[in-house]
Amino acid sequence: MSSELSPIDKAKFVCAKRAAQFVENGMRVGLGTGSTAAWLVRCLGERVRDEGLHITGVPTSTRTAELAREVGIDVITLDAAKRLDLTIDGADEFDGAFNLIKGGGGALLHEKVVATSSDRMIVIADVGKEVETLGAFPLPIEVIPFGLQTTHALVDETLVSMDVLGRDSSLRMDGDKPFVTDEGNHIIDLHLKRIGDARQLAMTLNQLPGVVENGLLIDICDTVVLGFGDGKVEVRDINDGTVASERMVFAESDNLFSDLSD
């Protein structure tokens, strides 16, 4: 398998494989959404198959739920699980304080609810997701369909007073129609280039009528597992300030990964 992967896919795979080792038998685990999180679900499925690992997963999207069931992970709702031991998810960007931008896959609302319902959050990411300052990746906000244009205008007006470098925004589309989230809402992507005060921006956006949630996760992530294209992995823990490096071994072939294309 390793010879068929691009360097970025190798980075995603190794950080997912390493993060899967944090999961213990009997845990209730939040399962993220996106390409890197899909690797994680496959890695956990491999442990379920080969080691007899038994966990219950709380997926953050319908597509993650489908994949989890496909690889043999028991799936329950967050209400049924109540409190989670651990959530493992990807990120579109993270900074040195482990603040995140999430929502590139459109599941930011579920992802944020699941992450904040967990005792610990681990972010898995390739090295290209690390930034000095958040904002190069568009910041998504989830908004209700009612009064969509009015909410969009209110967001644009609010950005004028925020500490950001850019103030362009766009409604996310799915072909010729607005993108629809699992909750039936829409997403406005904010092209800010640089976010000077992420905490203030997150609080301000969530006060706007029509805005359900934003893609900034502040003081939620505990650990980042960072993958590199050569198979190296760094595990960074913000609570104890440690950084541990190791190199993951690639399997040559594995049926669980043969059809992974996202």
Annotated active-site residue in 93, 111, 142, 213: 111
Distance CA 44, CA 56 (A): 11
Distance CA 92, CA 255 (A): 28
- Token look-up 């009064």 returns 147
Distance CA 219, CA 95 (A): 11
Distance CA 54, CA 75 (A): 11
Active site residue 246: no
Residue 86 · residue 59 · CB < 8 Å? no
Going across the sheet that includes 186-191, the strands are 168-171, 186-191, 139-143, 211-214
Which residues are known to be catalytic? 111
